[in-house]
Amino acid sequence: MKNKRVKFTSWMICILLVSSVTLCGQEDQENVSSSEPAETRISFNALYTSNDTVVLTATVFRQKERDVIWLQNARISFSAGDGKSNGIALGKVSSDSMGNAVLTVPLNFPLPSNEEGMIQYTASFDGNQNYLPVAESFQSKPARLEVSFYEEDSVKYIRVTGTQFSRKEDIEPLSGETVNLFVPSLFRPLPIGEISLGEDGTGNMEFPMSLIGDSSGNITVIARIDEHDKFGFVKGQAQIGWAIPKHLLAQDKPSRELWTPVAPIWMIITLLIMLAGVWAHYIYAIIQLIKIKTSSKKETLPEKDWSNYS
Query: Which C-beta is closer to another protein: that of 26 or that of 49?
Result: 26
Of 10, 43, 63, 178, the one binding another protein by CB under 8 A: 10
- Closest approach, Cβ 20 to another protein, in A, equals 10
Residue 295 is a binding residue for another protein (CB under 8 A): yes
Total interface residues for another protein by CB under 8 A:
86
The one segment of 82-90, 113-121, 163-171, 294-302 that binds another protein by CB under 8 A: 294-302
Give, as one character, the DSSP assignment of residue 275. H
Query: Is-contact 46 30, C-beta < 8 A?
Result: no
Query: Is-contact 79 122, C-beta < 8 A?
Result: yes
Of 4, 19, 27, 51, the one binding another protein by CB under 8 A: 27
**DSSP assignment of 36-98:** SPBP-EEEEEEEE-TTSEEEEEEEEEEEETTEEEE-SS-EEEEEEE-SSSPPEEEEEEE--TT
- Closest approach, Cβ 55 to another protein, in A, equals 19
Of 187, 199, 229, 253, the one binding another protein by CB under 8 A: 187
H-helix segments, the chain: 2-19, 21-26, 265-298
Residue 2 is a binding residue for another protein (CB under 8 A): yes
Binding flags for another protein, 76-115, as an x/- string (CB under 8 A) = ---------------------xxx----------------
The one segment of 43-51, 81-89, 171-179, 187-195 that binds another protein by CB under 8 A: 187-195
Of 14, 89, 171, 209, the one binding another protein by CB under 8 A: 14
Of 46, 54, 56, 71, the one binding another protein by CB under 8 A: 71
Cα gap 36→233, rounded to integer Å: 36
Query: Is-contact 43 57, C-beta < 8 A?
Result: no
Cα gap 54→164, rounded to integer Å: 13
Give, in order, the Cα–Cα distances in Å from 140 to each of 46, 59, 92, 111. 8, 18, 20, 12
Query: Which C-beta is closer to another protein: that of 173 or that of 189?
Result: 189
Burial of 123 (0-12, 13-18, 19+ CB in 10 A): buried
Name residues contacting another protein, limited to 117-156 (CB under 8 A).
Answer: 128, 130
Residue 209 is a binding residue for another protein (CB under 8 A): no
Query: Which C-beta is closer to another protein: that of 15 or that of 171?
Result: 15
| Closest among 25, 23, 24, 36 to 130, alpha carbons compared | 36
Of 107, 205, 212, 238, the one binding another protein by CB under 8 A: 212
H or E stretch covering 238: strand 232-240
Of 106, 110, 186, 227, the one binding another protein by CB under 8 A: 186
Name residues contacting another protein, limited to 47-66 (CB under 8 A).
Answer: 62, 64
Cα gap 287→77, rounded to integer Å: 91
Query: Which C-beta is closer to another protein: that of 112 or that of 213?
Result: 213
The one segment of 44-52, 135-143, 169-177, 188-196 that binds another protein by CB under 8 A: 188-196
Cα gap 304→195, rounded to integer Å: 112
The amino acid occupying position 58 is: A
Name residues contacting another protein, limited to 224-283 (CB under 8 A).
Answer: 246-250, 257-261, 263-264, 267-268, 271, 274-275, 278-279, 281-282
Residue 169 is a binding residue for another protein (CB under 8 A): no
